Structure 1
Amino acid sequence: MNKKFTKKQHIFVVVFITMVSTLFLGACTTTPPQNISNICDIFTEKRDWFETATDMREKWGVPIHVPMSIMYQESSFKAKARPPKDYFFFGLIPWGHVSSAYGYSQAKTPTWDDYKRETDNSWAERSDFSDAMDFMGWFISKTNKVNGVSKWNAELQYLNYHEGWGGYSRGSHNNKAWLKDVAKTVNARALRYATQLKTCEEELSKGWFWRLFS
């Protein structure tokens, strides 16, 4: 039976195709956001990242701008980021990487394994944004418990992230002026992200259907 689509049916088909395309493209692309200096632009471009970050906040009680500022510093939001390679024989022959850090969060293999074991998330991948964000929520929350650092203090959280809980408690960062400068940069970025997020979080929180007809 041949029937012309009604206006409502046409809208439904368009919306359905848009949803499927968005989900497909979101699953396939691992390219960093175009403007990583603005958290609103990041989440507007990658809506699923905002949902992931919100889930992390609800689960771990960690403010979104803190892990996002650390992730900016560690990987620039590159899914398969690695540290530089190490070289030997007068710097001519590459010999692996300087550490096992990998992915969005630049988590090292032993710490990542601890996370998977403690959270029962054995299938987690460091190149997956959702897993990386959950890892960072876990790490920041644990830093709060182990070393008493506020979940909102991006500067001290970053020092723990870089040096590890034991290294931070021993003060290993105190003789690294360059690292303390980087931590201050991370903190400044976190504050900017927090200010930016206040201007767009309400809009980002709206459902896709509401946004379609608003």
Structure 2
Amino acid sequence: MPLALVAGLSWLIGGYRVLVPSPPTNPDNLCDVFEQHPQWYDYAAASEERWGTPIATQMAFVRQESAFQSHIRPPRTHLFGVIPWARPSTAFGYAQAVDPTWEEYMADAGSLFAERSQMKHALDFIGWYNARVRRQLGLSLDNTRDLYLAYHEGPTGFARQSYRQRPWVQRVANRVTAHANTYSGQLQRCETALRCRHFYSIRPFCE
């Protein structure tokens, strides 16, 4: 391979890595998360306005699903315990949306260039999914535990209460709920500053 081509590919790959947002250094504090990535607050607020899922709940979902990693996929299984094999699902990105559900989202509400590896679209997807679950199952958008169970098991699985045979899923849902509650309390202390940080923001209208 010509040296110039190798150099060009290296530059592209290096530049691409620079553009990928790094996971928050302190995922335990939502104010710190948004201080490091303030645009994420704007995306979450837009999703809440469009679909109704609270910001804290959206971010707790992302924390659980991807640990704020943009390009993560489920680890591969291993054939005979040694040979890397297929992945257990097509889940990808911040929200770990699987291919069929992402395609439904794109057909129903997603923008033309939406990507699962972009926080803006991942948060909108979470909002869309929860709004659909609310319509189908009558779940409250303030009930983080049931929303996450429906997110993990799917609306049909939730309706059949498949999670009752999977205690580990219930534990994860409880953990997501605890993170959402903590995030909600933290957000109350910094949301005004986040709303009013833009140069065009005028107090008290932005509060």
TM-score interval, smaller chain: 0.7 to 0.9
Q: C-alpha distance in 2, partners of 1:87/1:186?
A: 29
Tell me which of 49, 53, 72 is aligned to 2:40: 49
Q: C-alpha distance in 2, partners of 1:45/1:175?
A: 39
Match of 2:174 in 1: 184
SS of the equivalent of 1:183 reads: helix
Length, aligned pairs only: 184
- Tell me, which stretches of 5 or more residues in structure 1 are unaligned? 1-26
Q: TM-score, normalised by structure 1?
A: 0.82
Q: Does 1:170 align with 2:160?
A: yes
Q: C-alpha distance in 2, partners of 1:153/1:190?
A: 10
Q: C-alpha distance in 2, partners of 1:102/1:179?
A: 19
Q: Does 1:63 align with 2:58?
A: no
Q: C-alpha distance in 1, partners of 2:68/2:77?
A: 23
Q: TM-score, normalised by structure 2?
A: 0.85
Match of 1:83 in 2: 74
Tell me which of 24, 39, 51 is aligned to 1:33: 24
Whether the 8 Å CA contact 2:62–2:95 is kept in 1: the answer is yes
Structure 1 residue 208 displacement after superposition? 3.3
What letter corresponds to residue 85 of structure 1 in structure 2?
R
What letter corresponds to residue 145 of structure 1 in structure 2?
R
Q: Does 1:116 align with 2:101?
A: no
SS of the equivalent of 1:209 reads: coil
RMSD after superposition: 1.5
Q: C-alpha distance in 2, partners of 1:120/1:142?
A: 14
Cα shift readout 1:143-189 (whole Å, capped 9, x = no counterpart) = 11111111111111110110001111111111111110111111011
Cα distance change on mapping 1:82 and 1:205 into 2, 3 Å: same
Cα shift readout 1:113-144 (whole Å, capped 9, x = no counterpart) = 00000115232110011010100000011111
What letter corresponds to residue 170 of structure 1 in structure 2?
R
Structure 1 residue 210 displacement after superposition? 7.7
Q: In terms of Rg, which structure is larger?
A: 1
Q: C-alpha distance in 1, partners of 2:157/2:65?
A: 18
SS of the equivalent of 2:162 reads: coil
Match of 1:153 in 2: 143
- Identity value in percent: 39
Match of 1:6 in 2: none
Alignment of structure 1 residues 88-103 onto 2, 5 Å: 88=79, 90-103=80-93
